[in-house]
Structure 1
């Protein structure tokens, strides 16, 4: 077998015990209308780079930004000569402005190069105003940048984009200078919004709320609940606090598999089921069969290439010039992916195989590729 390629997988399993339902708190299922984050954006300059900044010959706006910044500090220099600097970079700065935050509190900011800088590692973002959609300044950002650097095993084959040095984060990198107005507590009606539309779940949440606060809740549609509350901040806070802590037995979820084509990550929920099928890809074969057709239970086993007869679970099958993976149908997609991984399947090939399994009805789940 050729050298194995290590794939990175993320498997999120909601439970190791097979159950039809599980309990979550309402706080994890809904958001309260009017208590959302707001987006902030700004244009800034990073200094202190070790020769990895913008090529200012081709990116003139970086130098213009520096000139304007120095002019505000009372420093002027002639622009007749072409200035070539490699220790600065022009960046866009973004942040989320949380609801109910106050002046003086800090928020995280993210920076992304908009020029041709090779790396922002070791750089410092100079004072940058952050604005909202109304063009008003709500925060000021400044600080040292931590780049998006990931550490991989030595035997993993990396592409040029696996480590992104042209973007980064500054923890607590912006100070809030202005507060946004919030109308919370001014009305008797509060709207609860379900994170994912579901008629059964939204009605169940409404019923649970009415059990604790009679006639206070109405389900308007598959995502919205109208809640009648006292017109008072303190009373609303107490009521919403109690409601958020109510536990809900969730109905069976739709089986779903999410595949990230860039990273090779695969995320699935526990509802994903596998039917009997056979997969042939190049010189690799995999068989998923129903255990009830065999005399005894078996675990996944790799059978190396050969020309002689193989006896598998008291059955005789011929496999010529193939590596065979034999898998019990009772296993989940996690086992299938590990089986394919052990046979040297590459990420792109794996995605194609899973999509083909879905198309023929072997993989019973919705597949979302991102």
Structure 2
């Protein structure tokens, strides 16, 4: 028996509750079959919790997240009570901030890692239809985004003389320490991969706006300094506006992509369309000692309670959590379990018989729970 390991579950808001419940089903199945002592600590919280209780989550939630071996997050965010925009806290932060941004900062989850891979049988969304298929081997890259500073640092505010907002300021913060560790992680990641699909060469692409922004100029200088230590890895610097075009036109060019926080957030949303949409897209927030894993989609209020959203991103996030734990604890059973979950997902997707509306359209769509059951059935066919 391997373990014990404790996974903190933060279902959050809306469909986050539904997809985390489905990922837990998969985790329980693989833990049973692979003899892993996996324990769960489910923590309520989020914007809906804030609207009801006046705070983001229970008083001991921060400690419980820190004590867990890994965290699985659903989705955070909910409409405000008056129906105008997103629910906000009195301090100007989004309701539920503690579970997502607070954990990133408090646990020093400095890297947001997003694998972008098109699985066989999944249709990309660039055309806006479900009719075009992009060759899967052309889309296989990893985005590594700085995760704790930039415009997300919270430095700034609103000047409102007489209560009337007149000036809004958001200060962009780029530090050498955070830049160095995110860029080094990008090069180390490239060394572990097989290179870009187009030519098999290990390559790190730095996405910035250094023709305009001082922070980006420093980011590039550090990129070149550290890149010199990795002579077997090619490096290139691309302006973010040009990159959005090239990402769509020639995804096979890219291997590892590194970017500051804000630009990284935007370009990874675009990249999700290459792999079939946000229902297939995973975000890994990791630091030296802690890791939090999530689907990158939102809480989708209009879909709540309809058993129709895609659980695959959350299931794959759970697989990433197991593999990350495996590396931290030198426990091969965890990486094996994570690989088996991904293999089961690949099989379900390639069969194309049990998929949600975002992948096959509403006419032949399966339910959220049916997709999860199909994944578990595939897991049970192959024993470790």
With normalisation by structure 2, the TM-score equals 0.23
Q: Which has the higher helix share?
A: 2
With normalisation by structure 1, the TM-score equals 0.24
Q: Higher RCO, 1 or 2 (CA under 8 Å, sep at least 6)?
A: 2
Q: Which has the higher strand share?
A: 1
